[in-house]
Amino acid sequence: RTGWAPIVLPTDSRQNPFGDEFDYAILGPIELGPGRFAEVALFHKRSRTLFVTDSVLAIPPEPPEIIQLEPYPLLFHAKDDALHKVLDSPENRRKGWQRISLFAFYFSPSTLNVANLFQSIRDAFAAPDRSKQAYFGWFPFQWQDNWQQSFHALSRQGRLFVAPILQTLILNRAPQATLDWVNRVQQWNFQQIIPCHMQAVIKADGEQFRQAFAFLEKPQSTLAGNHLPEADFQLLQTLNRALTQTRIVPPAKLD
């Protein structure tokens, strides 16, 4: 309907009718030039559960059941080249899932090379599957032998972390405001986290939640074990520089 106005949550959660059951903390909005970013952490007191949207998540090593209802995308990304005919197996589904995860979070991880255009087109004509679903046989990806190292560094068996795009393009625009929000959320006595993306439920407490934001600290040495490989951030860092230099987004406050 027209003429509606968004409902703005009061800063003090006790002013809401559900204040005795839930607590919440609002991050932002963080100004990003063309738009804004905001997050609300919602704490359900009785179940000791923290709900978030985008701020933290965890990646399961196995593909979620809902994705396996139609496994073709998993098997497509399990290929090593255009000529590779992949059989449907748990191993290949896992392989495809882990590669898709690297695409989703880094866009171009360091362990991925793009094949020569002309060679990839020639290979497409010889591909065993030249259907529309298989992009007519075109597969321009060349994964390095150590690609799983990138995935293991990202997932660490379901460890809690902040998505690389948030680290590189968003939260570093307001590091102190983010840490203030994190410190408030950390004080809640939660035992599990349910994010809107990837794995849920995640067994984690306030200390683990706080550690996920160690990249905002100066110095960063105390929690260095939680950092992701810098090499995998190359494309995101390139985007960050381009957006900053063209003044599309404000500069990061972490250098």
Q: Does pLDDT of 22 surpass 80?
A: yes
Contact 82, 120 (CB under 8 A): yes
Distances (CA, A) of 148 to 81, 97, 224, 249, 250: 16, 11, 21, 33, 34
Taking residues 244-253, report their average pLDDT: 88
Taking residues 13-19, report their average pLDDT: 74
User: Around Cβ 15, how many Cβ atoms within 10 Å?
Assistant: 9
Q: Which two tokens stand for residue 27?
A: 């991050």
Q: Does pLDDT of 96 surpass 90?
A: yes
Taking residues 75-82, report their average pLDDT: 92
Return the SS3 of 93.
helix
- What average pLDDT does the structure give for the chain? 88
Q: Which residue has the higher pLDDT, 6 or 58?
A: 58
Which is nearest to 41 in space by CA: 53, 59, 31?
53
How confident is the model at residue 134, as a pLDDT?
A: 87
How confident is the model at residue 92, as a pLDDT?
A: 96
The string of pLDDT tens digits covering residues 155-181 is 988 889 999 999 999 999 999 999 999
Taking residues 194-216, report their average pLDDT: 93
Q: Does pLDDT of 135 surpass 50?
A: yes
44/190 Cα distance (integer angstroms): 8
Contact 142, 77 (CB under 8 A): no
Residue 225's pLDDT band, with cuts at 50, 70 and 90, is very low
Taking residues 228-248, report their average pLDDT: 91
Q: Does pLDDT of 45 surpass 70?
A: yes
Q: Does pLDDT of 131 surpass 60?
A: yes
Give all strands (DSSP E) within 96-156, no chain letters.
112-114, 141-143
| Helix or strand holding residue 28 (H, E) | strand 22-31
How confident is the model at residue 2, as a pLDDT?
A: 44
Q: Which residue has the higher pLDDT, 122 or 224?
A: 122
Distances (CA, A) of 123 to 71, 80, 116, 126: 23, 12, 10, 5
How confident is the model at residue 4, as a pLDDT?
A: 54
Region class of 254: left (phi > 0), else alpha (psi between -120 and 50), else beta = beta
Enter the pTM of the model. Answer: 0.84
